[in-house]
Amino acid sequence: MFAGSLVTAAMVRAEGERDDALALGDEEFRALHAATARPLWAYLAAAGGDPALADDLLQESYLRLLRAARLPADADGRRRYLYRIATNLLHDHRRRMRRQPEPLPVECPAAAATDRAERIDLGRLLGRLRPRERQLLWLAHVEGANHAEIAARTGVRATSVRVLLFRARRRLAALLTSEPDSTPPGESR
């Protein structure tokens, strides 16, 4: 899970590197990190489906932000830029993974559930969505981002976000209402 460790500008600085070579000073960076680390990690974990990957991408996102040649002057612009970096890193990771064979999933036995609602494992259902669908649903419903913010963070045109969110919601609803999809593996009805 989110380690919460803070990478400071001093840690990134290479030996002999000038202080002005980094985009932010320590205090500015600490403030940005404090405001964005947990929500960004949660976004990466939900969109990527892997907490360990979220840890790696989170740290790389901050490193790239610190090494950026130019940053927006305002805090909100920096936050959007950080999410853009993280989203691009997530896309790069997905592209690399497409080139590699996917490992077989390891299933653990689920506890017997008496009620259908108890058998629905939302995490597993979200895992069955496409990565972009998970990403859009997370930003809209967990982080409360509006369509323009989602577009800025994901690189999708703002006019497309509404349609893509509708499709993602419809697909999740279909997964939630389909009886066979909600029964855990190895459990009979």
The DSSP letter of residue 5 is P
Compute CA distances 133 → 3, 49, 92, 105, 110, whole Å: 26, 12, 17, 21, 25
* Predicted model pTM: 0.53
Q: What is the pLDDT of residue 10?
A: 52
How far is Cα 73 from Cα 52, in angstroms, rounded to an integer? 31
Rg (C-alpha) for the chain, rounded Å, is: 19
Domain ranges of the chain: 9-98, 122-182
Q: Which CATH number fits domain 122-182: 2.120.10.30, 1.10.10.10, 1.20.1630.10, 1.25.40.10?
A: 1.10.10.10
Domain with residues 9-98, CATH architecture: Orthogonal Bundle (1.10)
- Render each residue's pLDDT in the chain as its tens digit; 189 residues: 455 455 555 554 544 444 455 677 888 889 999 999 999 999 999 888 889 999 999 999 999 998 888 888 888 899 999 999 999 999 999 888 877 654 544 444 444 444 455 555 777 787 888 888 988 998 898 888 899 999 988 888 989 999 999 999 999 888 888 755 444 444 443
pLDDT at 143: 84
